[in-house]
Amino acid sequence: MVDNRDSFTWNLVHDLGRSGAEVEVRQAGEWDTEDAERFDGIVLSPGPGLPNESPGLMHLVKAWAPHHPILGVCLGLQALVEWSGGGLRQMEQVRHGMQATALRTGTSPILARLPDRFEVGHYHSWCADRSVLPACWRITSVAENDPELVLSLAHETLPLEAVQFHPESVLTPMGRVVLAEWLATLRA
């Protein structure tokens, strides 16, 4: 777990542990790029601000994304989008502690057991800019009330998945299913 100094990190750690994962947690700036070799998968945690404001995060993403399975959560999604050449946009309405309905728009192993519509918890003021999203990403869900708001992505050729919502939040009732399904991809 790459901790981007977010209070939700430990909720993610506990939910991953409930699904059988052994999780090592360090802040982004405390990891070395060689550390990824010891793990089956990497989670990029949520965090405040923008990806380049989390010390060490983009350095790790550049080193790890081409070679290791990664799940990006909130800021983690944003970091993966920026790494791939995409951009972010500041949202008109800050969505901290808000619940919304997500609509599945594409296939993704982490969403496979979820219905076509599912509830998610938002805690963000930035999101992927869909108008400049690189073609390497498949949009797998969007906000029902705002289809421009990308809620999850899967990379077309690399084992990279990302969610803008918080699967560890009580506002995402099926979030533990998302985490368990991501872990299942690592064991497959």
Question: In one letter, which amino acid is 128?
Answer: A
On the question of pLDDT at 96 being above 90, the answer is no
What are the catalytic residues? 74, 166, 168
Cβ atoms of 111 and 152 closer than 8 Å? yes
Mind listing the pLDDT tens digit for each residue in 48-94? 999 999 999 999 999 999 999 999 999 999 999 999 999 999 988 87
Q: What is the pLDDT of residue 187?
A: 87
Give the C-alpha separation, 93 to 71, whole Å: 25
Q: What is the pLDDT of residue 74?
A: 96
- Direct distance between the N- and C-terminal alpha carbons of the chain, in angstroms, rounded to an integer: 20
Q: Is this model's pTM higher than 0.85 or not? A: yes
Banded pLDDT at 14 (limits 50, 70, 90) = very high
Count CA within 13 A, CB hemisphere, residue 42.
29
CA dihedral 11, 15, 21, 24 (to 10 degrees): 0
Q: CB burial class (10 A; 0-12, 13-18, 19+) of residue 42?
A: buried
Mind listing the pLDDT tens digit for each residue in 158-188? 999 999 999 999 999 999 999 999 999 998 7
Domains and CATH numbers, the chain: 2-187 (3.40.50.880)
Count CA within 13 A, CB hemisphere, residue 149.
23
Mind listing the pLDDT tens digit for each residue in 102-147? 999 999 999 999 999 999 999 899 999 999 999 999 999 999 999 9
Give the C-alpha separation, 161 to 112, whole Å: 13
